[in-house]
Structure 1
Amino acid sequence: MIRKRSLMHRTAVVAAAGTTALVLAACAGSGDDDGSAGHGGHAATASSSAPSSPSASASASAAQGQHNAADVAFAKGMIPHHRQAVEMADLAPGRARSAEVKKLAADIKKAQDPEIRTLSGWLTSWGEDVPAEGAMDHSAHGMGGMMTAEEMTGLENASGTAFDTAFTELMIKHHEGAVEMARTERADGAHGPAKKMAGEIIDSQSAEIEQMNALLGKG
C-alpha cells in the first residue's frame, strides 16, 4: 500500500514538473516575441518607421539633391569667375612687391580652388555641363567684376608697386562682382550647400575687400 502511494506521489510530481516547464516555455516564447518586435522586429519596424519615412526622405532630398535654375546659374557663373581670380593670384608671386599682396593672393587661391571643384561636382551631379577651362574670355556672361583681356594683359605686364596697385584695384572690383552673384544665390537658390557657400563667399570676400581698401589707403 505504502509502495503504491509512493508511486502515485512520484507520478504527480513528475506531471506537475512537466506542466511547470510547459508554462515557463510558453512565457519565455512570449517574451522573446515581444523583445524581437521591440528591438527591430517587423511589427515595431513597420509602426515606427512608416510615419517618419516620407519626411526623412523629403529632408534628404532637400539637403542633397533639390536645386533650381538659380543654383545652376550660380555654379556656372562662379566657376569662370573664380578661375579668373586664381589666374590673377598666380601672377602675384613673381610680380608683387608687397608681402601683404602676395599673402592676399595666396589666400584667394587657397579658398577658391576648392570651391571651383565643389561647384563643378554639383553641376556634374545635376546633369549640367561644367564650363570649359579657358572659356571665360575675360568678360564672360557679363558677370560683375570680370576683367577684360586688356586689363589682364596690363596686369601681366606690371611689376612691383604698379602691380600691387593694379592687382588690388582690379581684385576689389572682382570681389564685388562675386559678392553680388552670391547674394543673388542666397535670395533665389534652392540647394542648401550652394546657399551656404554663397554666404561664405559674401563673408570672406567682403572682409578681403576691406583689407584691400586698407592697402590702398582707402580704409
Structure 2
Amino acid sequence: MRINRKISIAVVAGGLALLTACGGNGDSMAGHEGMTSASASAPAATSASAQPSGASNDADVMFAQMMIPHHEQAVEMADLASTRASDPEVKELAAKIKAAQDPEIQTMKGWLTEWGKPAPEGGMGHDMPGVMSEEDMKKLEAAKGKAFDKLFVQQMIAHHNGAIAMAKTEQTGGSDPQATELAKTIETTQQAEVEQLQKILDRL
C-alpha cells in the first residue's frame, strides 16, 4: 500500500510492525503526492490502486466524522459574529475562521466518500470536546455588541481547544497521510488563534 512505501522511505528496515506508528508522520501532502509517481514501479503500487482507501484506518474515519460537525458549529458561531460583534478584531477573526474551516469540511466529506464511510448527520453526533450545547448557542445568538464579543471569544477558545485535542489524537492514531497532515494544520492554526483570542479577551 502507499502508506507502506511512505514508511519504508522514512524509516529504513522498519518492517510491517511500524504501520502502527504511522500516525505521527509529518510529511506534507505535496510530498505524499510526489512519492506516488516516484514509486509507480514499486510492487505495492498495484495494491494501492486496487484499494484506494487502504491507507486509512478507524482513527482517520472517526477524525473526519467528528471534525466535520465540530467545524460546522465553529462556522455557525462565526456567522453570528458578522452581524452581532462590535469589536473589529473579533469580526475579522470570525471571518478568517469561517474561510479556513468551510473548505476543510468539504475536504473531509470527500475523504469519507472515498473511504466508503458515512458522513455525519443530524447535529454533533459524537461526544466531542469543546462543543457548545444548544443552550450555549442560544445565549450567543441572543447577545449583541460587547456582550457578544466576550461570549464569542470565551466559547471559541473552548471550541478551538477541543479541536486541538482531536487533532492531536488523529496525529497519534491516524494512518492516512492527508488526514494526519490536516490534523497538524488544524492544531497549528487553531493554537495560534487561541492565543489571539486570549489577548482579545484580556482587553475586553
Q: 1:127 and 2:127 equivalent?
A: no
**Inter-partner Cα distance in structure 1 for 2:157 and 2:50:** 37
Decide which structure has the larger Cα Rg and report it.
Answer: 1
**Inter-partner Cα distance in structure 2 for 1:211 and 1:58:** 46
1:93 paired residue among 82, 85, 103: 82
1:82 Cα offset (Å): 0.2
Call closer, same or farther: CA 1:143–1:168 in 2, change over 3 Å.
Answer: same
Q: Which amino acid aligns with 1:186?
A: Q
2:142 paired residue among 138, 154, 157: 157
**Inter-partner Cα distance in structure 1 for 2:157 and 2:100:** 16
Which aligned runs of 4 or more in structure 1 are off by greater than 6 angstroms?
58-64
- Using the aligned pairs only, state the percent identity: 50
Task: Give per-residue Cα distances to partners, 1:22-49, cap 9 Å, x unaligned.
Answer: xxxxxxxxxxxxxxxxxxxxxxxxxxxx
Q: Retained in 2: the 8 A contact 1:96–1:164?
A: yes
Task: Give per-residue Cα distances to partners, 1:72-131, cap 9 Å, x unaligned.
Answer: 000000000000000000001110000000001000000000000000000011111111
**Inter-partner Cα distance in structure 2 for 1:96 and 1:188:** 38
More contact order relative to length (CA 8 Å, sep ≥ 6): 2
- Which residue is 2:57 aligned to? 68
| Count of aligned positions | 164
2:156 paired residue among 163, 168, 171: 171
Q: Which amino acid aligns with 2:105?
A: I
Alignment TM-score, normalising by the size of structure 1: 0.70
**Inter-partner Cα distance in structure 2 for 1:116 and 1:53:** 33
Partner SS for 2:43: helix
Q: Which amino acid aligns with 2:160?
A: H
Task: Give per-residue Cα distances to partners, 1:143-169, cap 9 Å, x unaligned.
Answer: 000000000000000000000000000
Q: 1:102 and 2:112 equivalent?
A: no
Q: Retained in 2: the 8 A contact 1:186–1:198?
A: yes
- Which residue is 1:31 aligned to? none
Partner SS for 1:143: coil
Q: Which amino acid aligns with 2:135?
A: E
**Inter-partner Cα distance in structure 1 for 2:53 and 2:94:** 32
- Which residue is 2:172 aligned to? 187
Whose helix proportion is higher, 1 or 2? Answer: 1
1:55 Cα offset (Å): 4.3
- Which residue is 2:190 aligned to? 205
Alignment TM-score, normalising by the size of structure 2: 0.75
Q: Retained in 1: the 8 A contact 2:48–2:54?
A: no
1:53 Cα offset (Å): 3.0
- Which residue is 2:201 aligned to? 216
